[in-house]
Structure 1
Amino acid sequence: MASISSLGIGSGLDLNGLLNQLHDAERSKLEPIKQQIETQQVKISAYGELKGALSGFQSANEALNDAALFQGLSTSVNGDAVQAAAGPEASPGQYAIEVEQLATAGSLATQRVESLDAELNDADAMLELAFADNSLDHGVAIAADSTLEDVRDAINADAEAAVTASIVNDGEGYRLALMSQETGEQAAIVDANFATVAAQVTLEDEAVLQEGRDARFEVNGIAVASADNQVDDAIQGVALSLQGTGSSILTVEPDTDSIRQAVADFVESYNELKDTAGKLTAFNGQDGEAGELIGDSAVRGIESRLRSDLASVIEGSDHAMLADLGIALRVDGTLELDETKLEAALAQDPGEVGAFFAGESATDGMAGRLDATLEQLLDSNGALEGAIGGAENRIDSLNERYTRTEQSIDTTIARYQTQFGQLDGMLAQMNQTSAYLTQQLSHLPGQGEGGAGML
């Protein structure tokens, strides 16, 4: 409120300062409301932190609710001849692989040309490319007066040419080098009528041909040929990448590493959720500080439901409880993972571990049960969103109360100002009257210097 500088002029009193003090006193009524609003805002922030931790646990839990996780296979290779990756159709097993030769692309270097600037043909011509697989044979149109670079560019611009063209300087001249785009014997280029198209070639030179080859290797003694070094059909469900000649031992086995990591993430994310809830509901007696959500019923409800699910028994699996897999529920509510016990369960049968977590359907296993609970807790109508909505409604109500109180204060101060103005005027009038009477009394007989002689 702006100070009223005219108050007190008539009376000589500090009515303006008094009014400001009354204003400050009235405004102090707003502080408790502001503190309550801040408390609710802190609660909303705390609920958001808890929601983030709950969502993190939900993500980790969803990974365990995927049956494909427990059916996955991994590959390991001893030796440098191949690399491998297993797909869903692969079967566990061990394979001895002997690579005799890699697949290569056929190439053809044409007869030599002395200058890059020389025009090779004085009329339009057709460069005929021939392949081992004659279905690939193709003619490339060469415009009149083309140089060797023009021929190269024409080939590379032709999407059906099935070769890549470049120019090689062999020290005596320039050759057009054609490389098949695909590896293998059938995709190899075997001939080209370059000497017919280009009049400027050195006729005594011959084209240099390098035949394309198929990859040849053995899998457990069985001979296999492939036009490509990427082989997807030699071993069912396994993609092989031939790296070089030599021997390798390929092992395909259940991918227990991914399962182990998913379980560890599950335990870690739950403990992070528990730590977050503990921090938000804790009371530090030494410092006298309380967590933002101490005593909050929504947090207690969330912890209770999750603890109930974690302690429940799962039917239809060799493992009935989390403890059977080495996951123990501590006294403080956190989880502890015994990696040795989990490793033993995975070594015995990863499928049974999957039956415990994922079950036969999305809701049968432990992870499915938890997922249903987490969906409810994080739903727009769930306990957490309900608590956040309650705090937001409380803030709205407090804001309305703040506005009403502020308006009431303004009305009160305005009334005080009017009353003080009236008081100031009345006192000013009284002062004037007092001054007038004093003046008049001073002129009465006996009030002057000679008044004493009358006595």
Structure 2
Amino acid sequence: MAISSIGIGSGLDVNSIVSQMVALEKRPLAQLQTQASSIQTRVSTYSQIKSLMSTLGDAAAKLTRDGSWNGMAITSSNSEAVSATVTGIASATTMGISVQQLARAQSVASTAVPKDTAVGGGTLTIQLGSWLHTTPPPQFTPGTDSPLAITVGATDSLTTIAAKINDANGGVTATVMRDATGERLLVRSSKTGEESGFRIQVAEDPGSPGLSALSFDPQNAPGAGMAGNTVQYGQNAQAKLNGIDISSPTNTFAETIPGLSITVSKVTADEVNMRVAPDTAAMKKNIQDFVAAYNAVNDLLSTSTSYDAETKVAGVLQGDSTAVGLQGALRMLTMGSAGGTGALQRLADAGIAMERGGKLAVDNTKLDAALKDPASLKALFANPATAGEGGGLAVQFKSFTSGLLALDGLMNNKADALSAAAKRNTAEQDKVNDRAALVEKRLRAQYTALDTKMASLTSLSSYISQQVASWNKSSG
């Protein structure tokens, strides 16, 4: 007799029995899963610690660089007229600058002609150079560039001629301007300055004359062509620095003061006072960034390793010797000495003190006082390491964090250890599940055999009962 469902033959609730036995076998899973969750939380926390350590290392590294201490700030009594930027290594100084004229490009315009009409054919020869125009007649000195020849067709309009000039890219630009009188050709130097001038000489096509209207050569043909119209000659910017004349083809004096680029924007009636001094604001920000980065690491370590007596909740890394040791090492670094002979030896000397809980706090009054001596403050943080001494405090922090974050450093070693623990935990859970599966298989096999036996016995019992009943009837 076949058994269609386990338990029918025996009359037992086999599924319930087997489920309870398997559940009993799986009881260790609960603890293993709790451990797995704890391991993942620790992995996540150490990942955060590693990230914050990297930020701290970057902030410390910035304080070790000369550029963080050599920066200069520039102030101007009239920044709309004169301003400056630091372009290299600049020295602290003060200066007075007055501006007599701004740089400009040469610009000329033709006489108006009807819109889209041809002006004549021939060749425009454009020569770059400089004009001495302060005493007539103007004198032209050619530059080193070869003259540029522009071929003009007999039917070319001013728009076509302007396009040809611009396509030649010869140091001048051309634009067509239209008004009620017609259109004019505007020609302008591509650069400002006295040496960026130009002249335009014309060779007309005898068969289509008129191109001479676009010539500009006041030395050889005064009053002819565009030379008969208003001219703006190119000029250099002219200024006085502490009473000394300075000149530039642009409105920027890039080489006058080493490490500075001075830009003039307006002619001035009065001298503009400029001051170049150490950029203490940038230094202070770098120090504050370092303190903030340290506090971020300290806060995470403190929270992770603490125990809240009121809530009776422990931090995820409470009792973790690595985290506790790391926190202690960081605090020891903050209390260390920069070594050497500098006036500032400890963070506290610069107004950076440790508060309860390990956080650093900045006393701005003391820090501002320390910033008045940038050399000593730089030594506190950036003194190079020597034999027997670890160097400035930022150098020590940089070395410490670099070691932690190295490929074989503490952070990666801890991550590897936690990863191994997670793998072992997974293997243990697999073992429990495998044992439970074997127990279930064995129990179901045993109860199936019991069902078969019980079904056979039940059938035999029914047969005997029928025979006994039949015998009883015969005897009666």
Distance 1:419 1:130, change over 3 A: closer
Q: How does 1:11-22 map to 2 (within 5 A)?
A: 11-22=10-21
Q: Label 1:130 to 1:405 Cα distance change in 2 as closer, same or farther (>3 A).
A: closer
Distance 1:195 1:215 in 2: 35
Q: Which amino acid in structure 2 is aligned with residue 423 of structure 1?
A: L
Give 1:336-351 correspondences, 5 Å limit: 336-347=361-372, 349-351=373-375
Please tell me whether the aligned partners of residues 127 and 147 of structure 2 are also in contact (alpha carbons under 8 angstroms).
yes
Corresponding residue pairs, total: 441
Q: CA deviation at 1:265?
A: 1.0
Give SS of 1:186's match: helix
Q: Residue in 2 aligned with 1:156?
A: 166
**Aligned CA distance change for structure 1 residues 93 and 271 (closer, same or farther; 3 Å):** same
Are 1:319 and 2:353 counterparts? no
Structure 1 counterpart of 2:283: 259
Distance in 2 of aligned mates of 1:56 and 1:139? 58
Pair 1:70–1:110, CA change in 2 (3 A): same
Where 2:34 maps in the other structure, the secondary structure is helix
TM-score, length basis structure 1: 0.90
Structure 1 segment 6-85 matched on structure 2, within 5 A: 6-79=5-78, 80-85=80-85
SS in 1 for 2:293: helix
Change (3 A) 1:112 1:20: same
Give the aligned partner of residue 395 of structure 1.
Answer: 422
Match of 1:134 in 2: 142
- Per-residue deviation at 1:48? 0.6
| 1:17 positional shift | 3.2
Give me the TM-score of the superposition, normalised by structure 2. 0.87
Cα gap change, 1:138 to 1:5, in 2 (>3 Å): farther
Give the aligned partner of residue 101 of structure 1: 101
Q: Please show how residues 85-96 of structure 1 align to structure 2 within 5 Å.
A: 85-96=85-96
Output the CA distance in 2 between the equivalents of 1:210 and 1:361. 62
For 2:35, the aligned partner's letter is Q
Name which of structure 1's ranges 107-116 and 97-106 shifts more when overlaid on structure 2.
107-116
User: How do residues 46-445 of structure 1 correspond to structure 2 at under 5 angstroms?
Assistant: 46-79=45-78, 80-116=80-116, 118-122=117-121, 125-129=123-127, 131-132=129-130, 133-135=141-143, 136=145, 138-144=147-153, 145-159=155-169, 161-189=170-198, 191-193=199-201, 196=204, 199-200=209-210, 206-246=228-268, 247-316=271-340, 317-347=342-372, 349-360=373-384, 364-445=391-472
Gaps of at least 5 residues in structure 2 are 131-140, 214-223
Structure 1: 5+ residue stretches without partners: none
C-alpha displacement of 1:130: 5.0
How far 1:92 moved relative to its partner? 1.0
CA distance in 1, matches of 2:189, 2:443: 99
Q: Give the aligned residue type for 1:76.
A: T
Cα 1:267/1:345, change in 2 over 3 Å = same
Compared CA separation, residues 438 and 70, structure 1 to 2 (3 A): same
Q: Distance in 1 between matches of 2:250 and 2:414?
A: 62
Cα 1:430–1:382 shift into 2, 3 Å: same
Q: Is the 8 A contact 2:64 2:381 kept in 1?
A: yes
What amino acid is aligned across from residue 9 of structure 1 in structure 2? I
Determine the C-alpha separation between the residues in 2 that align with 1:339 and 1:130.
59
Q: Quote the offset at 1:5 in angstroms.
A: 6.8
Query: Contact conserved, 2:128 with 2:171, CA < 8 A, in 1?
Result: no
**Cα distance in 2, alignment partners of residues 343 and 195 from structure 1:** 72
Deviations 1:282-336 (A, max 9, x none): 2223333221111111111211222222111222211111111111122321111
CA distance in 2, matches of 1:226, 1:383: 58
Q: Distance in 2 between matches of 1:127 and 1:56?
A: 62
The CA distance in 1 between the partners of 2:126 and 2:59, in whole Å, is 61
Query: 2:124·2:202 contact (CA, 8 Å) conserved in 1?
Result: no
**C-alpha distance in 1, partners of 2:343/2:29?**
64
Q: Distance in 1 between matches of 2:14 and 2:384?
A: 83
Output one character per residue of 1:173-209: Cα deviation in whole Å (capped at 9) or x when no partner.
Answer: 22211111111112123x3236947835696873432
The CA deviation at 1:436 is: 1.6
Name the SS of the counterpart of 2:361 in structure 1.
strand
* Cα displacement string for residues 67-99 of structure 1 (whole angstroms, at most 9, x for unaligned residues): 221122111111132111134432211111111
CA shift, 1:256, in A, is: 0.7
Give, in whole Å, the separation in 2 of the partners of 1:376 and 1:94: 45
Note the C-alpha offset of 1:272.
Answer: 1.2
RMSD: 2.4
Asked if the contact 1:94–1:250 (Cα under 8 Å) also holds between the matched residues in 2, the reply is: yes
Identity of aligned residues (%): 27
What is the Cα deviation at residue 238 of structure 1?
1.5
Alignment correspondent of 2:220: none
**SS state at 1:55 partner:** helix
